[in-house]
Structure 1
Amino acid sequence: MPAPTHPRPHTETLANGLRVTLRHVPGLKRSAAALRVAAGSHDVPLAWPGLAHFLEHLLFLGTERFPAGEGLMAYVQGHGGQVNASTRERTTDYFFELPTKAFSAGLERLSDMLAQPRMKPEDQLREREVLQAEFIAWSQDPAAQQQFALFEGLPAEHPLRGFHAGNRDSLQVEQAAFQQALNDFHQQFYQTGQMTLSLVGPQSFEELKALAEQFSQALPAGDNVAQAATVPLTVKSYQQVSERRGNFLFAFDYLPESSVEALAFLCHWLNSTKPGGLPAHLQQQKLADGLKAAPVYHFNGQALLQLEFTAPPESLNAIREQILDWLNFFAQQDWAPLRKEYAALLERQQQVSGALQLARLDSEQLENGLSDRGAEALTQILSEIGTVDNFSEHWHLPAANPFLRANEPLANAGLIRGQTSAHRGLRTFAQDRSRGRRERSPMQFSQALPDSTDEGAIYLRWQMKAAASTDLHSRLQRSLRQTQQDAREAGVELTFSATGNQWLLKLSGLQEPMPGVLEHALKCLIQVDADSTLAEPKPPLILIRQLLELLPEHVLPSAKTGDDAKHLWTTSRWDGLALGLDQQTQSAMGLALSRIPGTPDNQLPTPAAITAHKHWSHIDTASSEHALLLFCPTANRDIADEAAWRMLAQLCQTPFYQRLRVELQLGYAVFIALRQIQGQTALLFGVQSPSAKPAELLKHIQQFLIAIPALIEQLDEASLSQQRQNLADQFGDATLASRDAAELLWQARLAGHSSDYLEQLISAIGQLDRQTLLAAAQRVINAEGGWLCLASDPAPQTAWQATK
């Protein structure tokens, strides 16, 4: 298997003051950049709250050289990449990921928008309305308000107590004083001495450095500027409580720089749900559930550590005693084995991280584990909390993660008599006869992905006699929680979903731990009835995310529900797909495969599609905002149609965003994407608005749909050819990450396609012409594949069929 990612990137400061980190990772198929500006919402003048966040938005509105339709966001979306930005208290981050051959042009756009923003008055007025919509949503979001209330125990003059979101009242763009402050802030902080650029990709170190130097030349040079000083936190600890949630907060004023890694290490072990730890004990004593520890603020020696839990207010004093008792215990332990395991799991995380994750990690510039200085800082933190050497005897350190220990290699693993390593494409289950298990397994070991990398994926699907009830679904999810945490730390993402009567267990990431993870996961799911405790409530989601979470359930036909897990498992039928696994991993899966519940079935039917009508599902929420999702599937599952739908999604992303968010200012959550659910390909439109109701949102989406043919006609042949090439490149071996390829191949199997689906898709994209796209757009407009609408209001007209 390939060597692990090097734990530390190269770091240096260029001649003009730009600090850069460079990480060369040969196995990556994409490249990423993360640009951190050492300035945030607490660094703006007190008269203009929200100015830093506002500037972040303005930079994406285009420059003279790259207008909005050619700027970073449009460019990244057009190449199937990722792009975003974030303004925090003391930092502002801009980050994107692209196919490597398109990366340098992305960097060019990022440097231009940072150095040469237009900031025209009309653009500012429009964008202020977007922030106003965000502010309204923020002010009505329970989770956001709970987060804001966290700081009520701090001194009133500390900036954490202030308002920094920005809205129509605080962003006085018409005033000359505001414009002066906006330009001063940009000139003061958006220069090389205040920036760190992190680049990650398969390029050589020399190539990455050349890209960094070229990037820096477009930026104004400057020296590092001291950020605004802050007032002492003064308090040591305090509590904040609501009806069902409580928080303990510990405040620190004079910590060393290495306290960042120390707090991360402490929170990792505070959050461990294994027996003997704090969350398990609080749950066992029925004091609290769902403990989560995290540092919520850190700057210049100040830090705020939050411990959040689900519990009634009357348990608060008892919980505080238990927290302090555990901290007393932890302070007296030998951290050496914990430091070793913590470093191992961070290394695993880097192994499975993509370019964007690594770039963002590098911008934080943390140690890969807990260094000696970090251990000294942790000792200081625990001392300031007030720990003593007296604690209860029931505490003990968590058991080691079973999936972090490497398995011994098997000699000639997976080979049967007469087979050599040259026969790796001939995997059968003949060698499993001694287990007395089925010889013809519905688990297909696909050769569609190479087995020469250290990553792979496993999909296990059951068709049940009934859908899982809410109660049973909660039990199933809870039963997997500890295995999911251990698996994630070991580099395997484990998920379980029960959508209608289709249940899916999915593993993706490092293949070496997968057999053990699969075995543990199956045991947890089968024994779910042994644990009668329900899962803790999830934190509230914003409205559009609520709809997205509910969408898969509405795409499938409704099914009766059942609570008897044992009966549902024994009457189920299952199949599966494994991708990218080498012979050693396949052989090691034998025991897990023998424990799969239900009857194997090589002929499970393709999940049913929604009927070709207009279906409307009203989702009743407590939000005063409005949101709508419009799901527009293909009329059939032909790859040619899928290719056309993908091209339409690519062509429409930027114009749809520009029309509904920028021009009409309907809301801040506006998108169009291609979505595949149970093998069904669809265009998905989404909008959340503080003012426009779903009927109005639908009208605007339909008007946009009608305009798509004109959008296609406006493309000249060269532009159409370039769009076609950009789309095809996203599915080529040189660009497509194995994890993304596995998901595409799984959806292809659900749709009934063969294992050469990716090659067929690339070919179908290459054959797209203007007339084909126009015909596809007309089929979307006519709803030939049906439309499914999820909305926060009932159906507006009789043309829609109301569904549950």
Structure 2
Amino acid sequence: MSAPNHFHTQRLTQENGLTLSLRHEPRLKQCAAFLRVHAGSHDVPTAWPGLAHFLEHLLFLGTDRFPAGDNLMAYVQRHGGQVNARTQARHTDFFFEVPSAAFEGGLERLCDMLAHPRMNLDEQVREREVLHAEFIAWAREPSAQRQLSLFQPLNPAHPLRAFHAGNRFSLPIPRPAFQQALADFYQQFYQAAHISLVGPLPDTTLKALAERYTDQFAKGSAPRQSRPPTLMLNHQSVYQQLDAKHLDLLFALEQLPEACSAALEYACHWLSADKPGSLLAYLREHQLCHSLKAEVLYQFAGQALLHIEFSATHNIAQNATQISDTFYDWLAFFSTQHQHPALRNEYILQRQRQQEVCSALALARSEIELPDQSLEALTCVLQQMLPATPPAPQHTWQLPPPNPLLVTPKEPINAGLIRGQTSAHRGLRTFAQDRLRSRRDHSAMRFSADLPEAGHEAAIYLRWRLTAPPAASVQLALANSLRPLKHDARHAGVELSGSACGTDWLLKMQGFHAPMPAILEHALRALSALEAAQGAPAVAPLMPIRQLLKRLPECSQPGIEPTLSDASQCWARARWDGLAVGLPSATAPLISAALNKAPGTPDGHLPRAEYSAQRRWITETCDSNEQAVLLFCPAPTGDLRAEAAWRLLAQVAQTPFYQQLRVERQLGYAVFSGLRQLNGQTGLLFGVQSPHAPVAEIFEHIRAFLGGLPTLIATLDETTFMQARDALAQQFLPTALSGPQASELLWQATLAGHSSGYLEALYAELIGLDLRTTLVAAQQINRPECAWLCLATQPETESFLLGES
């Protein structure tokens, strides 16, 4: 059913009851820890809804040993990693990922914050307000409202019907009963957890680190979690909901075998398949819907709530019955074929491929969620989903064709020979060979040698400079042309995407290198045969800050009118260039051959994109009561010294910005900052979404922080400055950068006009950076000539227009 567990994984149980999963993975550049506590929002006493989520927040506030400025979040951000936590119905997860050299410090802080929480009442009051803001933002999000409506037909006594997010009214912090419940919940459930450590470090090192820092957890056994009541009161196993553009089928499954996770995942995989012969392909061909999503909304103690969502750009109600009948018709077919070797083998290959390319963090999570291989569980799931009296067959279904990209290609033909030649012909040049060599030599695709050929990860970037920015209809046509290929490519370990930025359109591939030549050839054929898109793109409503982030890349360049609105003319006079990173030398000729099918004209000397030298404010209206601001502050020049200084500013500012605007001023839940590169331009990005503050107030808080940035830099002592600088520089060593990180950096360097050797040069600039140069950069940000780009949900403020600082 599913891919077997990695044979190098060690699973141990500590004396204190903690379960360890250790996995040495040499291909990785980073390490990850994923810790699961076996308690979630449904395990909280009914008197205190939101307590589990609230405790998750409190644990990140720091400990006596590692206060806020040096806690897990600050430490991971300082080393260029990622960190988060998530409270689910029956478990809570804490996880982070950092370069290997910084892993021990992160693990030490993770274990300390879980073993020695600081339950300060003043901090609790402040964090409750943050959680309240998060609750308001979540409650206003259309997707959250839709999900709540999906649960309404369930048993009112089931925890899925209850309120669990927590807010200022459900968390009475001063009451002794609440404080006792908080302490009891922590003591009962925050023990006997499961922690997974994954990375390139040897097994012995991972084990030693785990034993060194997890022995401080309290001794205990896995807590007993109460079993919920039945999902439905009327013994039904399915119900349906319908709105203007969605048809939802929900299956309330009961008494499933213990080994059912993989069965549910397997069913969702084939239900959502977007390939010829699939259920979705049939529905789309007959214009019944445009997308289908299958996901498990809940699973615990033999119960599962499986959600099948059909979406359309038109009113779906008129086709609801036909869609439902077609679904059950396909499901009856699948129930007779689910044990077919072709389906099972392809699924196993796909799971194995994902294991070969996914990040350390994704691997660490997979080691927590142990796969099972029960066919009986799938049979039980399908039996409960099928109606007692299935509809009459409507269509003769067939198994979908196998994914050809999952098959490892044979060794490429010797690059020095053409078809029909053998090694005996070596040295005999022909006109055809001369022509092929000439086309390769003059190709606009650059094969980067900045990274050694190691492992099996690579990336390809292909950029077209169009005559005008593509209109929404053209972007939809481009997306539709690649849609079936993206499905197969993802399962073969390659993320394929297309995006627009000004007059440029970018095709990007990242992942397993072996299928890339075939994917590129198919993609270029599809793009060359571009046809006008039918209908309008379906855009799900986004929370304001996400909507601004989505618009940011296309706003980074001043608008150029008119837009390109005819898909058939997309490639007329288009020019392209590209970059390939990490490809084996034997694969390069295959890529060059595929590029002969690229539409447009190759041009290895495309000029850099033009950027505005003036401050710009773009208003993006959102259908929300909350307001959001994104402020992008670009470096004044594109040289590496300026980039190094801007990167250090971003790192130093990250924790104070979060602390001031989120924790102290409590502007909202979504508060972040960091370095961002937009089409080769480097800048600092600040973002805030607030449930109560207007845009003018949010902007003034950001502007005030920037005004104080020079003082923040100037007050750094030499030791602190050097530690921050060196920690940043270490992130750009080849031993620290993952394949996707390195390829993205090299592509941005290409767009910025940097030559080869960029990573080494950037490291040298960073390691040589001094305090004075960094201070000058902090002062430059506040000068009127720094061309700020602000995206906001309300019109510009007077101080922005005047360029005040």
**Would you say same fold, with TM above 0.5?**
yes
Deviations 1:51-85 (A, max 9, x none): 00000000000111110111000000000011000
SS at match of 2:548: helix
Q: Is 1:294 paired with 2:291?
A: no
**Counterparts of 1:270 and 1:7 in 2: how far apart (Å)?**
30
Give the Å deviation of 1:589. 1.8
Task: Give the aligned partner of residue 595 of structure 2.
Answer: 593
Matches within 5 A, 1:477-488: 477-488=479-490
Distance 1:101 1:586, change over 3 A: same
Give the Å deviation of 1:28. 1.0
Matches within 5 A, 1:450-529: 450-529=452-531
**Counterparts of 2:643 and 2:436 in 1: how far apart (Å)?**
44
Distance 1:684 1:430, change over 3 A: farther
Deviations 1:492-537 (A, max 9, x none): 11111122211111111111100000111111222220x6434651
Task: Give the aligned partner of residue 34 of structure 1.
Answer: 34
Give the Å deviation of 1:236. 0.5
Unaligned runs of 5+ in 1: 417-428
Task: Give the aligned partner of residue 449 of structure 2.
Answer: 447
SS at match of 2:61: coil
Q: Is 1:212 paired with 2:210?
A: yes
Distance 1:799 1:667, change over 3 A: closer
Task: Give the aligned partner of residue 161 of structure 1.
Answer: 161
* Residue identity in the other structure for 1:545: R
Give the Å deviation of 1:430. 10
* Residue identity in the other structure for 1:74: A
SS at match of 1:569: coil
Task: Give the aligned partner of residue 425 of structure 2.
Answer: none
Task: Give the aligned partner of residue 361 of structure 2.
Answer: 356
Give the Å deviation of 1:431. 5.3
* Residue identity in the other structure for 2:78: G
SS at match of 1:467: coil
Give the Å deviation of 1:284. 2.1
Matches within 5 A, 1:198-597: 198-234=196-232, 235-311=236-312, 312-333=316-337, 334-367=339-372, 371=373, 373=374, 375-386=375-386, 391-410=393-412, 412-413=414-415, 433-434=435-436, 437=439, 439-529=441-531, 532-534=533-535, 536-559=537-560, 560-597=562-599
**Counterparts of 1:430 and 1:188 in 2: how far apart (Å)?**
75
* Residue identity in the other structure for 2:320: L
**Counterparts of 1:128 and 1:256 in 2: how far apart (Å)?**
39
Task: Give the aligned partner of residue 140 of structure 1.
Answer: 140
Q: List structure 1 segments (4+ residues) > 6 angstroms apart after TM superposition.
A: none
Task: Give the aligned partner of residue 100 of structure 2.
Answer: 100
Give the Å deviation of 1:224. 1.3
* Residue identity in the other structure for 1:708: L
Q: Is 1:708 paired with 2:709?
A: yes
**Counterparts of 2:610 and 2:5 in 1: how far apart (Å)?**
43
**Counterparts of 2:71 and 2:802 in 1: how far apart (Å)?**
41
Give the Å deviation of 1:153. 1.4
Distance 1:590 1:300, change over 3 A: same
Asked whether the 8 Å contact 1:21–1:198 carries over to 2, the reply is yes
Task: Give the aligned partner of residue 661 of structure 2.
Answer: 660
SS at match of 1:458: strand
Asked whether the 8 Å contact 1:278–1:323 carries over to 2, the reply is yes
Distance 1:431 1:636, change over 3 A: farther
Task: Give the aligned partner of residue 674 of structure 2.
Answer: 673
Task: Give the aligned partner of residue 422 of structure 2.
Answer: none
**Counterparts of 1:653 and 1:121 in 2: how far apart (Å)?**
26
Deviates more, 1:317-326 or 1:620-629: 317-326
SS at match of 1:448: coil
C-alpha RMSD of the superposition: 2.0
**Counterparts of 1:414 and 1:265 in 2: how far apart (Å)?**
44
Q: Is 1:602 paired with 2:604?
A: yes
* Residue identity in the other structure for 2:720: S
**Counterparts of 1:214 and 1:724 in 2: how far apart (Å)?**
29
Asked whether the 8 Å contact 1:475–1:534 carries over to 2, the reply is no
Deviations 1:146-194 (A, max 9, x none): 0111111111111001110101111111211111111110010011x2x
Asked whether the 8 Å contact 2:451–2:734 carries over to 1, the reply is no
SS at match of 2:554: helix
Unaligned runs of 5+ in 2: 419-430
Give the Å deviation of 1:738. 2.0
SS at match of 1:603: coil
* Residue identity in the other structure for 1:328: A
Deviates more, 1:12-21 or 1:632-641: 12-21
TM-score (norm 1): 0.94
Task: Give the aligned partner of residue 423 of structure 2.
Answer: none
**Counterparts of 2:440 and 2:415 in 1: how far apart (Å)?**
20
Asked whether the 8 Å contact 2:625–2:691 carries over to 1, the reply is yes
**Counterparts of 1:394 and 1:562 in 2: how far apart (Å)?**
42
Give the Å deviation of 1:453. 2.4
Q: Is 1:83 paired with 2:83?
A: yes
Task: Give the aligned partner of residue 647 of structure 1.
Answer: 648
Task: Give the aligned partner of residue 727 of structure 2.
Answer: 726
Asked whether the 8 Å contact 1:10–1:21 carries over to 2, the reply is yes
Deviations 1:222-250 (A, max 9, x none): 11111122101133110122221121001
SS at match of 2:367: helix
Deviates more, 1:40-49 or 1:775-784: 775-784
Give the Å deviation of 1:441. 0.9
Give the Å deviation of 1:557. 2.0
Give the Å deviation of 1:565. 2.5
SS at match of 2:406: coil
**Counterparts of 2:575 and 2:183 in 1: how far apart (Å)?**
64
**Counterparts of 2:682 and 2:432 in 1: how far apart (Å)?**
37
**Counterparts of 2:577 and 2:441 in 1: how far apart (Å)?**
14
Asked whether the 8 Å contact 2:458–2:513 carries over to 1, the reply is yes
Asked whether the 8 Å contact 2:486–2:496 carries over to 1, the reply is yes
SS at match of 1:296: strand
Distance 1:498 1:198, change over 3 A: same
TM-score (norm 2): 0.94
Give the Å deviation of 1:31. 0.4
Deviations 1:384-442 (A, max 9, x none): 223679744421111111211111103544689xxxxxxxxxxxx99572488464111
Matches within 5 A, 1:782-793: 782-793=783-794
Give the Å deviation of 1:313. 2.1
SS at match of 2:656: helix
**Counterparts of 1:528 and 1:624 in 2: how far apart (Å)?**
40
Asked whether the 8 Å contact 2:15–2:219 carries over to 1, the reply is no
Deviations 1:85-123 (A, max 9, x none): 000100100000111111111111111110111111110
Give the Å deviation of 1:322. 1.2
**Counterparts of 2:572 and 2:800 in 1: how far apart (Å)?**
42
SS at match of 2:49: coil
**Counterparts of 1:679 and 1:348 in 2: how far apart (Å)?**
32
* Residue identity in the other structure for 2:335: A
Task: Give the aligned partner of residue 69 of structure 1.
Answer: 69
SS at match of 1:570: coil
Distance 1:7 1:782, change over 3 A: farther
